[in-house]
Every structure is written in structure tokens, then in C-alpha cells.
């Protein structure tokens, strides 16, 4: 309606930006809009941040089976901390050190105690927008001078 080009992602795509890279994974689920979202891996040097959107545990499993995901430093917790997302299988596979939960006041009980316990058992530092406000992550990288 506003002239923006629409592009459908049907295969893994890598987008370079400065010294970083975005890897965009196509939808792997088929049950509904939450399962048909994109996943994004933002990488800068040795640091990785994974965003899985609102996919549930079954779709996270498909993501893990379809793509070779690295150990990550940070994870944007799936579906605002729903008990149906951020499965133990995902945590075991990508081993995040930090979990960021984008959540506000809601009637769903997000983030759930079950998810918070999974993250704590994983050893994640947990940051929530409802308690901490805007979350800023940064990694200092030394420049190579050769």
C-alpha cells in the first residue's frame, strides 16, 4: 500500500553489515502465523544473538534439525517467555549465556515460571523489558591492525 517491496525468504540468507552478519532463516513451521515466522542470527566476531520469534517448541525442533546453529551468547526468549517456547532442546543446542525477554503487562502470565526456571537452570542471565526497561547488548571487539 505504501510502495515497500515485499520479499519472501525461502532459503537461508546471509546479510553482511560492517563487521557483523545477519543470517535469516526461512520459516520451518506450518501450523500458524507464529510457526511461520523468520528466525534471525546476528553475529559480530565471536558473539551471536538468536531471535526465534513466537515459534513453539515443535518448530524450534524443526529449526534445529534444519539448520546448523552455533553456541550463542544471547537469546531473545521465544514468545515473550511462554511455557511453549524456549524449549530445553533449544537451550541445550545453542547454550545461551544471556536471555532477553520482551514482555509487558499481559493476561497470559508471560513470562511463565516454567520458562524462567529453564533459563535459570541453564545458567542464563535473565533480562526482562517489563522489569528492566529497554535492554541494550553490546560486545566490544578489538580491531585487528596488521
- The candidate with the shortest Cα–Cα distance to 122, out of 102, 92, 77, is 92
Name the DSSP class of 79.
G
Band (pLDDT 50/70/90 cuts) for residue 145 is: very low
For the chain, first and last CA: distance in Å?
A: 50
pLDDT above 50 for 146:
no
**pLDDT 10s digits, 110-123:** 999 999 999 999 99
- What is the mean pLDDT of the segment spanning 124-133? 96
Look at strands 74-76 and 98-101 and give their pairing. parallel
Q: What is the pLDDT of residue 131?
A: 94
Give the class (CATH, top level) of 13-132. alpha beta
Amino acid at each position: 500500500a505504501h510502495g515497500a517491496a515485499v520479499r519472501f525468504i525461502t532459503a537461508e540468507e546471509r546479510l553482511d553489515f560492517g563487521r557483523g552478519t545477519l543470517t535469516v532463516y526461512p520459516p520451518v513451521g506450518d501450523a500458524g502465523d507464529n510457526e511461520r515466522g523468520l528466525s534471525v542470527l546476528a553475529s559480530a566476531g565471536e558473539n551471536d544473538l538468536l531471535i526465534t520469534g513466537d515459534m513453539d517448541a515443535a518448530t524450534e525442533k524443526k529449526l534445529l534439525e534444519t539448520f546448523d546453529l552455533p553456541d550463542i551468547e544471547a537469546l531473545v526468549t521465544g514468545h515473550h517467555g511462554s511455557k511453549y517456547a524456549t524449549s530445553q532442546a533449544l537451550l541445550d543446542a545453542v547454550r545461551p549465556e544471556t536471555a532477553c525477554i520482551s514482555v509487558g503487562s499481559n493476561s497470559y502470565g508471560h513470562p511463565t515460571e516454567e520458562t524462567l526456571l529453564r533459563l535459570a537452570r541453564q545458567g542464563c542471565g535473565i533480562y526482562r523489558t517489563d522489569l528492566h526497561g529497554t535492554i541494550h547488548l553490546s560486545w566490544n571487539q578489538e580491531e585487528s591492525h596488521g
